[in-house]
Structure 1
Amino acid sequence: MTVEASRAARSRQAVIFCCNSGYLPFALHAADQIDRLTPARAFDICICHGEEPITIPDSLSSLDVRLIRIETSGVFTGLRLDPGRTHDVYLRLALPQALAADYDRILYLDSDIFIQGGDFTALLGLDLGNHPLGAVRDNIQWRTPDRRAEQFRRLNIDAAPYFNAGLLLMDVRRYNEMSLLDRCVELGRRESHRMIRHDQNLYNAVLRGDWAELSPMWNWQYSWSARLFEAMRFPHIVHFIGTLKPWTDRKGQYSPRFAQSYDRFIATHFPGRTRNPVSSGLSPADHMMRKMLVKHFVSSAKLARYLDRFPSDMTVIL
């Protein structure tokens, strides 16, 4: 692999997004939120890309984002791809190996997130024990922790804790000691006919529970079954899982505050980009609202048991 960067690293820790030009505004929106929360930050904020070049607007130069191009030279050839995708969807797998000379700790974040708070300096310094990764359990196991992930079933793997890869706290040395990139790629090529989606399943199938569990305050997966609880817990990071995103939500299924924030940001920094009308939100009498209320009522006790496992946002379950 080869690495080209817009500037040298200024810290041994980094928050990194991997995206293409389509998701660049949303990654930069999150980067701007983190920068505002941490005005004297002692970590780099980076945006990594692969095959497609990207350009950061001059209006965001104050963020001091480190732009990194990683040429993976066919490392991901043979891995499963959804239609219309490129091998850049696997780029986060390569971060610890490609950037080992620059960083000891990497916090990888998906671009479809909304930052509301949190001490990112403290998060980067969490003790992960001897694990290569810290992550938040996938929401399929929030209420049913013993649920077997579909990918595990397809690979004939026993049920194990299964994480969502939208936030990954990477211990670079341990990650590389375990040859995690090579092991994920080898599994992905060997089992490409049985794999679904992309690197999240590769990580989980290789590690099989060998990861440190972080509080859901750092990756609140915004599903219809936990959306209303988010307003009460006010997590640090809201992650818009699934195909519906606030910037494409025309029926108001999400709180309008998300789309309004994105709309203001895009109008300021990407004025040539097409903007969608912002919905005023769901009516209390809407069928979806009623469905969410029933689901929240039925699942409240199980979700409370999950949340009670984390006395603070810095709790790590090893």
Structure 2
Amino acid sequence: MTATLPDLTEQARHTSPRAGAVPDTAAHALTGRRRIAFAAYVDENYLPGFLTLLRSLALTNPGLCEDFVVLYDDLRPSSVARIRALHPRIVLRPVDAGHYDSYAKGDQHNYLVRKAYFILDVFRIRDYDTVITLDTDMVVLGDLGELLRLREGLAAVPQFFHGRHKLNSGLLVIQREYLTDAFCARLDETGRTGAYELDKHDQGILNAVLDGEFTRLDARYNFVKRRLSGDLEVPEDVAILHFTGRHKPWQGGEAGYARAEERWHEYEMTDDEFRAAFAALPAGAGVHHDLLVHLGTAHVARTGDPETARRVASAHIAAGEYQEAVDVLGRVRLTVDDSAGHEVLGHALMSVSRYDEARTHLLLAAADPGRAAVACARLAQIAWVHGRDDEARRHANTGLSVDPTHRPSRIWAERTRPGAALPGQQQGAPEDQLAHVAFYMERQGNAGDKLLPESVRQAFGADTTSRRWHPVHAHRLFDRAALERVNARRGLVIGGGGLFIPDTMPNGASGWQWNVSDEALRAIDVPIVVYAVGFNAFDGQSYRARRFAESLRLLVERSAFFGLRNHGSIEKVRAMLPAALRDKVRFQPCPTTVARHIVPGWSDPVRRQDTVLLNAAYDRAGLRFGHDYGHFLAETAKAVRAIGERAEVRCVAHALEDERIAFDLRREHGISLPVIPMYDYDNDRIRETYADTRLVVGMRGHAGMIPFGLGTPIVSLISHPKMAYFLRDIGRPEWGVSVHDRDLGAVLTERALGILDDHEATVADVHARQAELWEVTRENAAEIKALLDR
């Protein structure tokens, strides 16, 4: 049984750079995430076949949307436009046609023979880790997921007539080790000497070079039509049907293959028919964001279909594209009883701070019992953002009355219960207090986010209570009353955590987590200290940057001190600023990484439990794992078994969803791990747990930084650039391993056992690395104190 996550293919997308977006272009080098592409050689003669291939791929594999490299030499602009209309991630790459003129060929003057070699240009591509080639006379009929999970060698289906020694080159799954100059040189040498079957063209060269050394795929991935001679039915398990030979379906076909050609003609349709067919796919089909937006938006523009508009808008929201969601739903007419449409539009509108309009649509949605819980939770959120806790609690309780199991409604009911508000807003003398903007997490929230506000305060002194601190929840609207309270304090501290991220409690005021307008930001007249904030874009995620960039620029201008928690974040933020502001962006390590120096009364453990704590994260799972979750799980199982012979391995869950690693290891690999529900711990217990173990293997940023700060050795499972940023900052990149690493299990085992074998020395190394961060923190503290004492 293969482990899967239902949302992985939908989320596993590379967001192509767009106007106003800030992509993390080097992120894949840090995370090791595999870049995958399809490829085909296309010319005018084979264009009808390629268009049908694209349609069949989208309709049978709607969850896949990798780059599709089109190798070409003579495509007209109108043909390129037709191709682009069917797929959002077409990469055009002209072939070096003259390169193949020196090859020995069976018929030098036949233009089709000459073009048969052009697909070999695929081996000159250097932008991807895996490339899957498809002939343009193919049609996709089934799931191709297995091909994208292949990680080694060059894979193909053996030829139908030649046993298993020779491959059919119609479909190739090529890994990076073959996308090299050295392999291209071998192809060129064979082609120029003619030491291959000349009548087999590119296929002949590949078979001569490989000499049987390729990974065999099942015939269903390149099922040649000759297997169906006599008008046989296409077997149900065929994933790719290949119309080899001279007679192509778009040219009239061939006698004796009517049933096979019927399958090809199923996908011969107009663009409008194709988009309508794609829009009609069931909601549970795991449709990929990019395909849905590309095809669905055009379908909505032509038809005004509200159901498709709602699905496209939901895809935009899932990707943090809130204004785009508003725009697409604004193009259709929603009836009063379209509760689903009103709920999605309300969600989009509140995410761009159009709160009054959002309330109207959410109230309409709440009239439907099937949508009431979700709509009421969003109404509660809007009321809470505006400081109306009683109203928020009423909406949350209404949601719970409809669905007692609805977690968001329960969260808002708990957050707004009497006595649950942030303490201390009237305690202590204002002139002695610092205001503190942070994300204040509930008791059963993410463990790292719970610890952060207190850790930031500890960096400023032992007193973290309301006597010295005035809390400002980042997600609440920073209105005039909040501004007046802040301006009555000594200064304003903003941090820590990855506040520079657009899709956690989104708002249209700033484009990042603090819900502050430019007008309010300009009106703050006390010193502003931005402290250990992170720029938290995932590999494959980009920021709609205009509003964020404007707010960021103003924040840097207005700040007396602007410190980011790693140099990777510094690079990204500086790139968004004018030259005059870039030097204001400074390095300030996350205070959790120096916890031993700032937690009052801290003493290092004399002895630790003989345990290893394992953490895995599942938020934005597709961006973390891509197509490699099954590989990650299997390799982790190998490591857990090996490490478990030396120490007890336990699962530590920062958030409730982190427990999934324990469920999946048990279900898929028969491994049972005890679970530590750290999301339910207070801050002291979080620190005690991490200080009392010998090693933490963690995927969340603070599953690395918190134990490190307490002197506990770590190995980071890198699925986000920030993990690599931190390890790079402390000069220990070897303490990380990518979740995509081909040999993840062996590498993780080797590093973990090495740390356990030499534990005392590794702890000393952690202390030494931490001392450097502490020195930076102390120097910054002296500067910040002077700024606040002016």
In the TM superposition, 1:58-207 aligns within 5 A as: 61-72=85-96, 74-79=98-103, 80=105, 81=108, 83-85=110-112, 87-97=114-124, 99-100=125-126, 102-118=127-143, 120-128=144-152, 131=153, 133-141=154-162, 145=163, 161-171=165-175, 173-177=176-180, 179-191=182-194, 195-207=198-210
What displacement does 1:13 show?
0.7
Shift of 1:185: 1.9
Distance 1:227-1:28 versus aligned 2 partners, 3 A rule: farther
Change (3 A) 1:259 1:106: closer
SS at match of 1:199: helix
Q: How far did 1:190 drift?
A: 1.1
SS of residue in 2 equivalent to 1:232:
coil
- Unpaired stretches in structure 2, ≥5 consecutive residues: 1-15, 18-24, 29-33, 275-790
2:248 partner letter: K
Percentage of identical aligned residues: 23
Aligned CA distance change for structure 1 residues 72 and 223 (closer, same or farther; 3 Å):
same
- 1:264 counterpart = 2:269: yes
TM-score after normalising by structure 1? 0.65
* Structure 1 contact 14–45 (Cα < 8 Å) conserved: yes
CA distance in 1 between counterparts of 2:215 and 2:196 reads 29
- Tell me: CA distance 1:265–1:135, structure 2 relative to 1, closer, same or farther (3 Å): farther
Aligned residue for 1:243?
246
Which piece of structure 1 moves more, 20-29 or 174-183? 174-183
Please give the alpha-carbon distance, in whole angstroms, between the structure 2 residues aligned to 1:235 and 1:225.
12
Q: What is the Cα-based RMSD across aligned positions, in Å? A: 3.2
CA distance in 2, matches of 1:258, 1:113: 11
Computing the radius of gyration from Cα coordinates, the structure with the larger value is 2
Q: 1:92-129 deviations in whole A, cap 9, x for unaligned? A: 212132x20x21110000000111111x343122133x
Deviation at 1:45, TM superposition (A): 2.3
Q: Which residue is 1:16 aligned to?
A: 39
The one-character-per-residue Cα deviations of 1:248-285 (angstroms, maximum 9, x if unpaired) are: 2264632151353355349979xxxxxxxxxxxxxxxx
| Counterpart code for 1:92 | I
CA distance in 1, matches of 2:229, 2:184: 33
In 1, distance between residues paired with 2:197 and 2:87?
A: 42
Secondary structure in 2 matching 1:249: coil
Aligned to 2:216: 213
Give the structure 2 partner of residue 290 of structure 1. none
User: Is 78-87 or 232-241 further displaced after alignment?
Assistant: 78-87
Letter matched to residue 53 of structure 2: A
Using the alignment, how far apart are the partners of 1:73 and 1:219 within structure 2? 27
Report if the CA contact (8 A) 2:197-2:204 is conserved: no
One-letter amino acid of the counterpart of residue 117, structure 1: G
Letter in 2 for 1:96: F
Distance 1:73 1:22, change over 3 A: closer
Q: Distance in 1 between matches of 2:72 and 2:62?
A: 25
Q: CA deviation at 1:202?
A: 0.3
Quote the residue 1:298 is aligned against: none
Q: Name the aligned partner's letter for residue 166 of structure 1.
A: G
Cα deviation code 1:202-240 (max 9, x no counterpart): 000111011111111100011055666652344001101
C-alpha contact 1:134 1:211 (8 A) present in aligned 2: yes
Letter in 1 for 2:133: Y
CA drift at 1:243: 1.2
Return closer, same or farther for 1:246/1:191 CA change in 2, 3 Å cut-off. Answer: same
Partner of 1:44: 67
Kindly provide the amino acid, as one letter, of the partner of residue 129 in structure 2. Answer: D
Distance 1:193 1:46, change over 3 A: closer
Give 1:31's match in structure 2, choosing from 54, 73, 76. 54
Deviation at 1:60, TM superposition (A): 5.8
User: Could you say which structure has the higher helix fraction?
Assistant: 2
Q: Distance in 2 between matches of 1:39 and 1:112?
A: 20
Partner Cα distance (2:121, 2:84) in 1: 27
Higher relative contact order, chain-length normalized (CA < 8 Å, sep 6+) = 1
Matches of 2:200 and 2:83, distance apart in 1: 35
Which residue does 1:253 correspond to in 2?
A: 257
Question: What secondary structure, in the 3-state scheme, does the structure 1 residue paired with 2:131 have?
Answer: strand
Shift of 1:91: 2.0
* Secondary structure of the corresponding residue to residue 223 of structure 1: helix
The 1:250–1:200 alpha-carbon spacing in structure 2 relative to 1, beyond 3 Å, is closer
> CA separation in 1, counterparts of 2:172 and 2:225?
17
Distance 1:165 1:59 in 2: 23
The separation in 2 between residues aligned to 1:188 and 1:44, in whole angstroms, is 29
Q: Is the 8 A contact 2:142 2:240 kept in 1?
A: yes
Give the partner amino acid of 1:206: V
| SS class of match (1:168) | strand
Query: Partners of 1:268 and 1:86 in 2: how far apart?
Result: 35
CA distance in 1, matches of 2:75, 2:83: 21
CA distance in 2, matches of 1:231, 1:17: 24
Cross-structure match for 1:154: none
CA–CA distance in structure 2, aligned partners of residues 186 and 263 of structure 1: 40
Query: Aligned partner of 2:253: which letter?
Result: D
CA displacement at 1:69 relative to structure 2: 2.7
- Counterpart CA distance in 1 for 2:264 and 2:61 is 23
Q: Higher mean Cα deviation, 215-224 or 54-63?
A: 54-63
The answer on whether the counterparts of 2:113 and 2:201 sit within 8 Å (CA) in structure 1 is: no
Amino acid at match of 1:39: P
What TM-score, normalized to structure 2?
0.28
Q: Does structure 1 conserve the Cα–Cα contact (< 8 Å) formed by 2:44 and 2:74? A: no
Classify the secondary structure of the residue corresponding to 2:179.
helix
The DSSP-based 3-state class of the residue aligned with 1:179 is: helix
Partners of 2:272 and 2:66 in 1: CA distance: 28
Residues 259 and 213 (structure 1 numbering): CA distance in 2 closer, same or farther, change over 3 Å? Answer: closer
